[in-house]
Amino acid sequence: MNMGNLLSASAERNPRKTAIVLENESVSYEQLDRSTTSLAQWFLRHGCKPGDRIAFYWPNSIETVKLFFACFKAGMIAVPVNVRMKPPEIAYVLQHSKAVMYFAHPDLMSVAEEARKGCAGLRTIQSTLEGLNEGAPEVPLREVNDYDPAMVLYTSGTTARPKGVTHTHRTLLECVKLTCSAAPDSLQTALVMTQMAFISAICASVLPTIVTGGTCVLVPAFDAPLVLDLIERFQCSCTFGVPSMVQLLLEEQARRPRVVSTLRTFFAGGDSVPVSTQERFHALFGISVREGYGMTETGPSIVNPADAIRSGSLGKALDGVEVRVVDSDVEDLPDEQTGEIVVRSPANFAGYWDDPAATRETLRDGWLHSGDLARRDADGYLWFEGRKKEIIVRDGINIAPQEVEEALYNHPAVLEVAVIGMPDPAGARGERVLAFVSLRDGLVADEQELRDHARQCLADFKIPERILFVKDLPKGITGKVQRRALKEIPYAAA
């Protein structure tokens, strides 16, 4: 069943229930279903055809949800654009996807117009959904095949240009099923605080909540005080955040506690959440962080079981998902040996948009090669060991940045930390270990103090040769720390 039909089914079951909330605005299931059908008909009336790409540059909002479902119903392909992108980045997405129509929030129109220049074939740019199809006769919507492309999400990735990850209606439905299996009793009121240009928001929050008849509470842009206020006000039951969000929510909850007792599930992913952070979260929120693993290309794949969380681990493969840890010859490795994570899942993406070579490289014999490293313990839990391109090689020994970061995070003055490898000027030792640290407000620590602290739990060869203090760590459009950006800081090479 395609995603548009699933919305209609929820509307039939719960016509007057609130589907989406944004601050003081809300829309019921019946209203959402009716308005998205009307918008889908408007697309067809204005020359768009099934399979056309519809781009939208819009923060989390009721309009964003409507654009997704209107595309699904009309058989068109939704291309959400991250609102943190700049005009050249947006222009690349528009050109690469060959979008035929482009929607932008009124406050973002100047950026949207700049990005549009030179985009041949982009016929229309819209800044409102109001009244687009009022009084027009109905246009029949054709049946959408489950295997038709439904959405293209552009990844930040490690390549010079983002890749367009293509999901079909079938793979989106499988993402929904996996999320529901991981949180079967928590989707009544989902807080959506990551942007809907990311799979964590649309596939692990919005779609599962709509399909199961829950309510989505949208956060236009992440703000820790606002998030906690909304959890308290709307009695939210679940949410998903990246590690940097977890840190900021902890600081805010410690400063001004809110009533968050309705929160039953807090998923975290995108990078490792330090164990010390997880322990503090449990103390302040009364629940454990359920760390997991997924990619734009796979949807949710691995998660800590609610009744058997192992802090610091990614968790176990979800039912229906096969996960292997393999060596460079794609041979399975025994437990406790580090190798690449490869995933075979019904939610694996259909391929990279207009990039068959990259698709062949990533999808091999049905297995998705992640580029991420992990080891599996005897009980089937996976433990993240870094990314193939981020591993630091010192004196011929591999060092995972996350292990060094974990040791530094245990210091009470450390708010955020990122560790990278830089070439040894003498060339004899391979790479040096460098740490970038942001300290908590009002607390102090010097380089030697942090090195001595790390030495309590790390071998000497893993201790950073330099620790550089920064106000903020550079983050990409997904909120992940950009280790590549740290390597470009001039004094990092000194």
In the predicted structure, residue 484 carries a pLDDT above the cut 80: no
Give, to the nearest 10 degrees, the angle between helix 3-13 and helix 29-45.
150
| Domains identified in the chain, total number | 1
Token duo for residue 444: 């102090």
List the single range of 16-30, 272-286, 471-485 with lowest mean pLDDT. Answer: 471-485
CATH of the domain at 449: 3.30.300.30
In the predicted structure, residue 494 carries a pLDDT above the cut 50: no
For the residues 423-441, what does the mean pLDDT come to? 81
Residue 64 belongs to a domain = no
Query: What pLDDT is attached to residue 84?
Result: 81
Mean pLDDT in the chain?
Answer: 91
Higher pLDDT among residues 474 and 78, named by residue:
78
Q: Measuring CA to CA, which residue among 273, 211, 292, 223 is closest to residue 252?
A: 223
CA dihedral (366, 267, 276, 488) positive or negative: positive
Residue 487 belongs to a domain = yes
Higher pLDDT among residues 154 and 493, named by residue:
154
Residue 140 belongs to a domain = no
Residue 482 belongs to a domain = yes
In the predicted structure, residue 80 carries a pLDDT above the cut 60: yes
Q: Measuring CA to CA, which residue among 325, 328, 274, 271 is closest to residue 295?
A: 271
Query: What pLDDT is attached to residue 170?
Result: 98
Token duo for residue 283: 């103390």
The range of the structural domain enclosing residue 437 comes to 390-493
CA distance 67 to 71: 6
Task: Please give the backbone phi and psi of residue 129, each rounded to the nearest 5 degrees, phi first.
Answer: -105, 0
Using CB atoms within 10 Å of the CB of residue 95, give its burial: 0 to 12 exposed, 13 to 18 middle, 19+ buried. middle
Token duo for residue 465: 């040769």
Q: Residues 6 or more apart from 382 whose CB is under 8 A from it? A: 293, 302, 313, 314, 315, 316, 317, 323, 325, 341, 374, 375, 376
Residue 405 belongs to a domain = yes
Query: What pLDDT is attached to residue 493?
Result: 47
Calculate the dihedral angle through the C-alpha atoms of 154, 159, 161, 163, rounding to the nearest 10 degrees. -30
Please tell me the pTM assigned to this model: 0.84
- 108-144: pLDDT as tens digits: 999 999 999 878 878 778 899 988 887 777 888 989 9
Q: Measuring CA to CA, which residue among 49, 288, 132, 350 is closest to residue 358?
A: 350
Place of tokens 């940097």: 244
Residues paired with 373 in a beta bridge: 340, 386
Give, to the nearest 10 degrees, the angle between helix 275-285 and helix 401-409.
50
In the predicted structure, residue 310 carries a pLDDT above the cut 60: yes
Secondary element (H or E) of residue 356 = helix 356-362
List the single range of 111-115, 306-310, 382-386, 459-463 with lowest mean pLDDT. Answer: 459-463
The pLDDT confidence band at residue 490, using thresholds 50, 70 and 90, is: low
Residue 144 belongs to a domain = no
For the residues 441-456, what does the mean pLDDT come to? 93
CA distance 494 to 490: 7
Q: Are 373 and 391 in contact (CB under 8 A)?
A: yes
Query: What pLDDT is attached to residue 158?
Result: 47
Q: Measuring CA to CA, which residue among 306, 246, 298, 302 is closest to residue 273?
A: 246
For the residues 36-62, what does the mean pLDDT come to? 95
- 223-278: pLDDT as tens digits: 999 999 999 999 999 999 988 899 899 999 999 999 999 999 999 998 788 898 99
Q: Are 323 and 365 in contact (CB under 8 A)?
A: no
* Terminal Cα-to-Cα distance of the chain (whole angstroms): 57
Residue 255 belongs to a domain = no
CA dihedral (309, 310, 313, 316) positive or negative: negative
Residue 411 belongs to a domain = yes
